[in-house]
Each structure stands twice: as C-alpha cells, then as structure tokens.
C-alpha cells in the first residue's frame, strides 16, 4: 500500500494524528517539542510546523498507518522517499527545502537523544529554495498609505488611532508582526525614539523610528489606549478591541485595509511592509549591515536579497527614462 500524499497529511488534525501514533513515538515527539520551544526558542507556529513535518514523515514511512510508525524506521532512503512523494504531490522547491530542514532538525535531535543510532539527516540533500520577496510599495505609495491612516485617525476613534500607530511603527522599523504585537509600554523610549524588540531565538535588539511614528504612537497611548485597555492588557503597547494584547491576525488585517485604501497598490500585509521598509532604507543609502541589524536577520545572506529588488528597480527606472535604454 503506497503512502498518502504528504500534502493531505499536513491538512489533517495534528492532534488526531499524534493520538494514533504509538506511545513511545508520542513520548519522543513530546521531547522534541520541548527541545524546539525551550532550547531553540522557536515560535509556537514554527514548532507546530516542524511537528507536522515529522508526523508526515513517520506516517509516510509506516505506509500511511500512524499506528505502525517508529522513529527507528527513519533512514536516508526513507527521507528521500518522503521528499520525492512531496515533490510528486506538487510541493514547491521552497516547501521541500523547509521540510527537509525540519527532518534534519528532528534526526539530529533523535540521534543526540539516543533514539537513532546515527543521523541520516546529515546526508540528506534538498533543492535550494527560490528566494523571492513579496511585492513592496513605492515611496509615494507608502506615504499615501500612511496619510490614509492619519486621516482615519483624525476623528479620534481609539481603534483608528491604534491602527495608525501600528502601520506607522511597522513601516518605520521594519519589525515582524509578532515582534510588534509583543511590545510592551516600557519597550518604547520616546526620548531616544527607539523600541526594544525581542526577535527570533529570543534575540533582543534596539530599533529606531522617526517623528511620524512617534506622533502616532504617542497619540494612541495618550488618547486611544485607555478606551480599550483592560485587566487582560498586561502592559501591552497595542491592545485589541476586547482589551487583550493585539493579535497578529488583527494587525495583518489592519495593514491590508490601510494599504488597500490606496489605489493601484499591491495587496501586502505586515511582511510586505517590512520588506518595503528594508527596500526604502537601501534605496536611501543605508548599508546592508545596518539593515541586517535593524531587521534582526541572523545572517547577511538574508538581507542581501534586498539588493536584487533595488537593482531591479534601478533597471526599470533606467529603461523607462533613459533615451538610450
């Protein structure tokens, strides 16, 4: 019996699949989950994704029957077979690379924990992902979006004040949406115009912001936040309509709505606004190391992706304006 397509495995309930696994496999996954969350400090979303990939691998090796899955069955041939099945099911190069990384992380941990005699993931190759960036706003489009948010906030509605502060701070700093939602009141220093951000891997960094973002955040804190704050706020800088810490999904909707109010703009969320900020910094003359530090990238290679965007923009402007292009 051939294993089911991995894409289907990822769509089913992870909790249900784990319940069908043998007890020793469930114990191993519990240990792996603690390793990811506590030792590697990965986000809950990343932990869930890694666990789902491992469960998909185990079910594949057990020929589709979770009850027959074992960690000991993982070998290089099985890893390659799993990725081949993913490819046949239509997984992209980026997806295959990410899932191969998840498998290697698990086999390395299982080997150290004594669950595998050796680490087959060391010999697992995967296609390099196509590293692409989402659409970004032009400088004039970004200004128009910020102006639209300011106009909405002028009526003094607390939610509108919050939304303006959210988009201004995201664009000014380029922080991730989870980082923004995790900010507390004491993480912002108005005198220095900087925020203290806790990023991936619990790495802390300091990110500056400009005068427009300062005005928007001050107005939200002084005139809007008190109308929404509750016992559930726990010092959060941004809160939701019910008083709890602002949810990243709400922040994404805010960005989509604000940017969508500007005609002929790409439909972007906070991630696109982060890339917009980085692109505009580089176009304005910032060096890669500075942008790397501001964005909280672990390696310069990630930041170097933005040079492609700026070069492509320069080429497009040249082609459009130079008489000998």
Structure tokens at 62: 């057990």
User: Quick check: 311 and 283 in contact, CB under 8 A?
Assistant: no
User: Quick check: 149 and 258 in contact, CB under 8 A?
Assistant: yes
Structure tokens at 112: 């150290």
Q: Return the residue matching tokens 């993931």.
A: 121
Report, as residue numbers or ranges, the catalytic residues. Answer: 176, 200, 271, 274, 297, 306
**Residue-wise DSSP of 116-135:** SSS-GGGG---PPP------
Query: If we measure between CA atoms, which residue out of 185, 322, 312, 158 comes closest to residue 245?
Result: 185
Q: Return the residue matching tokens 């032009």.
A: 138
User: Quick check: 265 and 137 in contact, CB under 8 A?
Assistant: yes
Beta bridge partners of 246: none
Q: Return the residue matching tokens 């010999």.
A: 123
Query: If we measure between CA atoms, which residue out of 305, 325, 324 comes closest to residue 316?
Result: 325
Close Cβ partners of 253 (under 8 Å, ≥ 6 residues apart): none
The Cα 244–Cα 242 span in angstroms is: 6
Sign of the alpha-carbon dihedral angle for 253, 254, 256, 257: positive
């Amino acid at each position: 019996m051939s294993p089911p397509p991995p894409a289907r495995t990822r769509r089913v309930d992870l909790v249900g699949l784990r319940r069908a696994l043998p007890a020793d496999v469930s114990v191993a996954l519990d240990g792996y989950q603690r390793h990811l969350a506590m030792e590697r400090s990965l986000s809950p979303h990343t932990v869930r994704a890694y666990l789902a990939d491992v469960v998909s691998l185990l079910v594949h090796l057990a020929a589709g029957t979770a009850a027959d899955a074992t960690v000991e069955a993982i070998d290089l041939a099985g890893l390659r077979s799993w990725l081949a099945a993913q490819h046949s099911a239509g997984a992209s190069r980026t997806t295959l690379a990410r899932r191969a990384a998840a498998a290697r992380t698990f086999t390395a941990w299982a080997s150290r924990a004594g669950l595998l005699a050796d680490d087959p993931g060391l010999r697992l190759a995967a296609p390099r992902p196509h590293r692409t960036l989402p659409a970004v706003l032009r400088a004039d489009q970004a200004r128009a979006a910020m102006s639209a948010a300011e106009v909405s906030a002028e009526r003094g509605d607390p939610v509108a004040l919050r939304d303006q502060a959210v988009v201004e701070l995201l664009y000014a700093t380029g922080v991730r949406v989870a980082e923004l939602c995790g900010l507390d009141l004491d993480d912002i220093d108005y005198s220095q115009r900087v925020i203290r951000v806790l990023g991936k891997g619990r790495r802390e960094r300091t990110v500056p912001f400009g005068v427009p973002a300062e005005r928007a955040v001050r107005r939200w804190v002084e005139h809007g936040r008190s109308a929404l704050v509750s016992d559930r706020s726990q010092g959060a800088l941004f809160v939701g309509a019910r008083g709890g810490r602002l949810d990243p999904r709400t922040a994404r909707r805010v960005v989509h709505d604000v940017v969508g109010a500007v005609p002929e703009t790409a439909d972007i969320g906070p991630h696109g606004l982060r890339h917009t900020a980085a692109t505009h910094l580089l176009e304005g003359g910032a060096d890669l190391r500075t942008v790397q530090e501001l964005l909280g990238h672990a390696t310069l290679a990630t930041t170097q992706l933005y040079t492609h965007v700026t070069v492509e923009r320069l080429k497009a402007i040249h082609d459009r304006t130079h008489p000998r292009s």
